[in-house]
């Protein structure tokens, strides 16, 4: 599942680069919300601690930018009883409300 998440992170960059204007915000935030859900599920299923998860991502030689780390932290801060919709909605809203700051992190 971790390899799927890393592949998704690379796809995120491709998807966002090809978008424009308002569509760019939507694609960026949708991609980050989906990534957040994947991290949340990985946390639930495999029971990895945050530090162990980040260590595995960094060990895979993939660059872990600050905005990705921001959403990883969000995924680990949510209660485990949240539904898929709750996780995706909270991550999407967080992204939209902090979009400019997230871009500045990269």
Q: Residue 16 and residue 74: Cα distance in Å, rounded?
A: 21
* Tens-place pLDDT, residues 36-92: 998 999 899 888 899 988 888 888 766 677 888 888 899 999 999 999 999 999 999
pTM: 0.78
């Amino acid at each position: 599942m971790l390899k799927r998440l890393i592949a998704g992170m690379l796809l995120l960059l491709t998807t966002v680069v090809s978008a424009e204007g308002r569509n760019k915000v939507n694609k960026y935030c949708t991609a980050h919300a989906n990534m957040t859900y994947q991290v949340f599920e990985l946390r639930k299923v495999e029971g990895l601690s945050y530090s162990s998860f980040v260590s595995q991502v960094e060990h895979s030689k993939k660059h872990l930018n600050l905005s990705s780390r921001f959403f990883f932290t969000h995924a680990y801060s949510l209660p485990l009883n949240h539904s898929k919709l709750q996780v995706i909605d909270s991550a999407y809203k967080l992204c939209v409300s902090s979009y400019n700051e997230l871009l500045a992190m990269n």
